[in-house]
Amino acid sequence: MNLVGLHDGSVLSDFYNKEDLLIIAGPCAIESLPQMEEVAKFLVENNITFMRAGIFKPRTSPYSFQGLGEEAFQIVKYIKEKYNLKIVSEIVNIKDIEFYKDYVDIVQIGARNMQNFEILKELGKTKIPVLLKRGFGNTIEEWLNACEYILSYGNSQVILCERGIRTFEPSTRNTLDISSVPVVKNLTKIPVIVDPSHASGRADLVGPLSLASIASGADGLMIEIHPSPKDALSDKDQAIGFDEARNIFKKVREINKILGKDKN
């Protein structure tokens, strides 16, 4: 592998350096302002700075909820300012970069776009932090090469996110490749987080996989939470409620302390 940027190591952004664990939580998709206010209050109460908030949703079926799209930008702006939260949202179209610069703090590249090299190059020309998810059919080397596209165009603010890969095992939506965490951490200085929600597709597994991820050395998590999981308009089977989320945050913070990684 000839990965120049990765060998040099990425420069982490200021806000990342201040966090113990990079926990990003929120609904799969923005559905309404009341839904987002409930989630925002919960995040603030739990000292979580980063909120996931799907504006445009790349869904497997064209008949599934596609996200509120442009209508959601006003909700994002309101929540961000009122609750002082950092917003993480997936970009699916290069033309949206201009908008995202003003509303979104971390731009997410989803599994389906991990090798959309044109978007990677354009984001590489900006200074916006990028959360690069692993494609479900991609090797670690391909994932790191995708990351290298962003770095080599000049943007060093990259966070990698393992979100499971497709295997022959049908009991989970994907198979969480937990070993990718130490593999990538041994090869690079880029922060790595895990998304146990999309990895498993099952609310009951989000807790155990979160603990395993932090224990394996991950720098954080991206978790789907919803005020009323059974009513979520997208990915309701993997959404967890506030009680469960609170429990997970507490436990992963304890594990991080045991590992001696807390910064306080």
Sequence-distant (6+) residues with CB within 8 A of 63 are none
216: Cα separation from own chain's centroid? 17
**Six token digits for residue 83:** 């609750």
Smaller CB separation from ligand PEP, 201 or 217: 201
2 vs 60 by CB, closer to ligand PEP: 60
Q: Kindly state the smallest distance separating residue 198's Cβ from Mn ion, in Å.
A: 6
Binding-site member from 31, 90, 148, 177 for ligand PEP (CB under 6 A): 90
Does residue 19 bind Mn ion (CB under 5 A)?
no
- Report in angstroms how near the CB of residue 4 gets to ligand PEP at its nearest: 27
| Binding status of residue 235 toward Mn ion by CB under 5 A | yes
Residue pair 78/58 in contact by the 8 Å Cβ criterion? no
Residue 173 burial (CB count, 10 A): 20
110 is a contact residue toward ligand PEP (CB under 6 A): yes
Q: What are the structure tokens assigned to 255, written together?
A: 């594990």
Between residues 111 and 181, which has the closer beta carbon with respect to Mn ion? 111
Binding site partner of 227, from Mn ion, ligand PEP, none, Cβ cut-off 5-8 A by kind: none
User: In the bound complex, which residue of the shown chain has the CB atom lying closest to Mn ion?
Assistant: 28
One residue of 80, 163, 173, 226 binding ligand PEP per CB under 6 A: 163
**Residue 198 Cβ, how far from ligand PEP at the closest point, in Å?**
4
Give me the least distance between CB of 239 and ligand PEP, in Å please.
11
**How many CB atoms neighbour CB 188 within 10 A?**
22
The CA distance from 196 to 250, in Å, is: 16
Angle at which helices 203-215 and 242-258 cross, to 10°? 10
Indicate the residue type of 188.
Answer: T
Rounded to a whole number of angstroms, the CA Rg of the chain reads 17
Subset of residues 50 to 79 that bind ligand PEP, contact rule: CB under 6 A: 54
Binding status of residue 28 toward Mn ion by CB under 5 A: yes
Q: Which residue is nearest to ligand PEP (CB)?
A: 110
Alpha helices in the chain (DSSP H): 4-8, 14-18, 33-45, 72-83, 97-103, 117-124, 140-152, 180-187, 196-200, 203-215, 242-258
Q: Which does 31 bind (CB under 5 to 8 A by kind): Mn ion, ligand PEP, none?
A: none
Site for Mn ion in 33-72 (CB under 5 A): none
Q: Say if CB 114 and CB 138 are below 8 A apart.
A: yes
Collapsed DSSP state (helix, strand, coil) of residue 187: helix
**Site map 186..215 versus ligand PEP, x via CB under 6 A:** ---------x--x-----------------
Instruction: Provide the binding-site residues for Mn ion, judged by CB under 5 A.
Output: 28, 235
Instruction: Provide the binding-site residues for ligand PEP, judged by CB under 6 A.
Output: 28, 54, 90, 110-112, 133, 163, 195, 198
